[in-house]
Amino acid sequence: MNPGISLNVFVGSPQLLRHFPDGPCLIIDADQQRLDQFRLQHPLQRHDFAIELMQGVVATENADGLTWHRFTDARFDGPWPLSEWIDLAPNLSEIDQCSLRPRPLASFLDQSGLLGDQTLKIKLWLRQGNPTELLESSGPYLQRLDSILLRYPALPPEQQIALEGALSQAGLVLSEFDDNAWIRQSLTLTELHQPAFVNALRLLFDVSAYRQLRPDLSEWSDLDLLQHWLDQFDSVSSAESMRIIRQTMPRQIDQIADDDVVMQALSSLFPCSFYRSLRPDLAQMTDLELIRHYCRVGRSEGVELAEGVLMNHVLEALTKVFPYAMYRQQCPDLVDLDDRSLIEHYCRSGMHQMVDLSEQVVVQQAQSFPASEYEQLRFRVKELEQLLAASTARINELQQTLQASLSESVGE
């Protein structure tokens, strides 16, 4: 998007417009007939940029509606009665009046399809309605108002005073070249005659983050980028975006404070003792100094710390001695987990749940089996042997009785 292009918003149809300004144009008018007439006089397809026409009254919302006055000179049409104009235009006559439902400027801009570029500035051309209410109704678009051009024949004195106060409060100043134009005052570095102030701004401004935020300006000089940022309508929002980018950008180890969460995490993981054993000349350094030394020097020297980190060996050893059956017995809901998952579950949850798998507990449970289960089983086996002997003797008796009965039957 060309930085010189703005969205031109006309409140009140410009009937005598000789040529359109550069940039898309939104034209809002309370009178649909005036919009239709404008469309006939200025075929929209001939314009280089998009043009959108909307019918409505721009003002702060009013549930009771707004009384709209129409006069013999349409330039005076608006919310003010004839009594406000009698001194300025004694021949002016009122045609009629009606009640219209006003809408905020922000509502029209939200509805428009011309504001796809969030960096597009807005230039207002006002010739209809109460400009103070119009300004107040711009909502979040207020900071994007780059200039306001007043094209009224005049304003009631009280309204003129109120408008100037509202424009000043919005950060706009009267143009040196046009008494009816108010523009947003910008800070130009070339106009500052204090090099120390410019240098301070350059130190505070994060050029790298801004180039990431605006890759289309990556070829610009640092000073041009700073000026571009100062010219933005919403420099606060872009400053916040730069801060977020800065947080995700790589940092030098010396830029990280001792109490930073990054240093705390490194302190928990870094094998300080192992690194000291490799570099006895660093024995007097604190752990944090040692970490910084490794990041600055050790890595570039090719120092390998893998041998000082025993986690893989510890895990391998744990798989050889872990009491899988005992842990499954204590946690029956884990019976479907494989051995590796069982160990991981114990490391994540079991230790915190105070599950005791120490050697002493494992040995006690292993030794308790012969003194309890085995003795009970042996006693039960003896009972079964006795029952089996009694059953065998009873069977023998039954066989003898059966044989004797058969012999007696044959003798008869």
How confident is the model over 135-158, as a mean pLDDT?
Answer: 88
pLDDT of res. 71: 94
Which CATH number does the domain housing residue 14 bear? 3.40.50
Quick one: CA torsion of 226, 231, 233, 234, rounded to 10 degrees?
Answer: 10
pLDDT of res. 26: 94
Distance from C-alpha of 153 to C-alpha of 297, rounded to nearest angstrom: 74
The percentage of the chain sitting over the pLDDT mark of 90, rounded to a whole number, equals: 21
Please give the residue that has the higher pLDDT: either 395 or 263.
263
Is 332 domain-assigned?
yes
Q: Is the pLDDT of residue 9 over 50?
A: yes
pLDDT of res. 4: 64
Which candidate, 345, 278, 203, 39, places its Cα nearest to that of 270? Answer: 278
Half-sphere exposure of 338 (CA within 13 A, CB side): 1
Residues 258, 334 within the same domain:
no
Residues 127, 30 within the same domain:
yes
Residues 224, 298 within the same domain:
no
pLDDT of res. 73: 92
pLDDT of res. 346: 81
How many domains is the chain partitioned into structurally? 4
Please, what is the average pLDDT of the chain?
A: 81
Residue 191: pLDDT band with limits 50, 70, 90? low
| Paired tokens of 341 | 């998952």
Is 370 domain-assigned?
no
Residues 244, 257 within the same domain:
no
Please give the residue that has the higher pLDDT: either 291 or 412.
291
pLDDT of res. 199: 72
The percentage of the chain sitting over the pLDDT mark of 70, rounded to a whole number, equals: 80
* Range scoring the smallest mean pLDDT among 11-20, 122-131, 156-165, 378-387: 378-387
How confident is the model over 229-248, as a mean pLDDT?
Answer: 70
Is 211 domain-assigned?
yes
Q: How many Cβ atoms from other residues are within 10 Å of residue 242's Cβ? A: 19
Q: Is the pLDDT of residue 158 over 70?
A: yes
How confident is the model over 390-399, as a mean pLDDT?
Answer: 71
Is 403 domain-assigned?
no
How confident is the model over 16-38, as a mean pLDDT?
Answer: 87
Is 207 domain-assigned?
yes
Residues 44, 154 within the same domain:
yes
Bridge-based pairing state of the strands 25-29 and 6-11? parallel
pLDDT of res. 349: 79
pLDDT of res. 66: 92
Q: Is the pLDDT of residue 318 over 90?
A: no
pLDDT of res. 299: 84
Distance from C-alpha of 294 to C-alpha of 361, rounded to nearest angstrom: 43
Give the sign of the dihedral formed by CA 378, CA 384, CA 386, CA 392. Answer: negative
Residue 111: pLDDT band with limits 50, 70, 90? very high
Distance from C-alpha of 230 to C-alpha of 298, rounded to nearest angstrom: 42
Distance from C-alpha of 184 to C-alpha of 122, rounded to nearest angstrom: 11
Is 397 domain-assigned?
no
The pTM of the full predicted model, rounded to 2 decimals, is 0.52
Distance from C-alpha of 29 to C-alpha of 193, rounded to nearest angstrom: 46
How confident is the model over 309-314, as a mean pLDDT?
Answer: 62
Q: Is the pLDDT of residue 1 over 50?
A: no
Residues 155, 234 within the same domain:
no
Please give the residue that has the higher pLDDT: either 152 or 351.
152
Highest mean pLDDT among 186-195, 273-282, 297-306, 391-400: 273-282
Residues 179, 197 within the same domain:
no
Residues 110, 204 within the same domain:
no
Residues 197, 163 within the same domain:
no
| Domain-terminating residue out of 143, 166, 184 | 184
The parent domain of residue 326 ranges over 315-359
Is 372 domain-assigned?
no
Q: Is the pLDDT of residue 133 over 70?
A: yes
Per residue in 251-305, pLDDT (tens digit) is 677 777 888 887 888 887 888 888 888 888 998 999 999 988 988 888 888 888 8
Q: Which residues contact 153 (CB under 8 A, 6 or more apart)?
A: 73, 75, 76, 88, 89
Q: Is the pLDDT of residue 370 over 60?
A: no
Q: How many Cβ atoms from other residues are within 10 Å of residue 105's Cβ? A: 26
Q: Say how many Å lie between the first and final Cα of the chain, rounded.
A: 131
Distance from C-alpha of 89 to C-alpha of 218, rounded to nearest angstrom: 56
| Domain-terminating residue out of 213, 230, 248 | 248
Residues 33, 149 within the same domain:
yes
pLDDT of res. 203: 67
Q: Is the pLDDT of residue 172 over 80?
A: yes
Is 147 domain-assigned?
yes
Per residue in 90-102, pLDDT (tens digit) is 999 999 999 999 9
| Domain-terminating residue out of 165, 184, 203 | 184
Residues 46, 148 within the same domain:
yes
Q: Is the pLDDT of residue 367 over 50?
A: yes
Where on the phi/psi map is residue 78: left (φ > 0), alpha (ψ -120 to 50), or beta? left
Residues 16, 29 within the same domain:
yes
pLDDT of res. 11: 95
Per residue in 32-83, pLDDT (tens digit) is 999 998 888 888 777 788 899 999 999 988 878 899 999 999 889 999 999 9
3-class secondary structure for the chain? Answer: CCCCCEEEEEECCCCCCCCCCCCCEEEEECCHHHHHHHHHHCCHHHCCCCEEEEECCECCCCCCCEEEEEECCHHHCECCCHHHCCCCCCCCCEEEEEEECCECHHHHHHHCCCCCCCCCEEEEEECCCCHHHHHHCCHHHHHHEEEEEECCCCCCHHHHHHHHHHHHHCCEEECCCCCCEEEECCCCHHHCCCHHHHHHHHHHCCHHHHHHHCHHHCCCCHHHHHHHHHHCCCHHHHHHHHHHHHHHCCCCHHHCCCCCHHHHHHHHHCCHHHHHHHCHHHCCCCHHHHHHHHHHHHCCCCCCCHHHCCHHHHHHHHHHHCCHHHHHHHCHHHCCCCHHHHHHHHHHHHCCCCCCCCHHHHHHHHHHHHHHHHHHHHHHHHHHHHHHHHHHHHHHHHHHHHHHHHHHHHHC
| Paired tokens of 17 | 């417009």
Which candidate, 140, 124, 100, places its Cα nearest to that of 236? Answer: 140
How confident is the model over 104-120, as a mean pLDDT?
Answer: 84
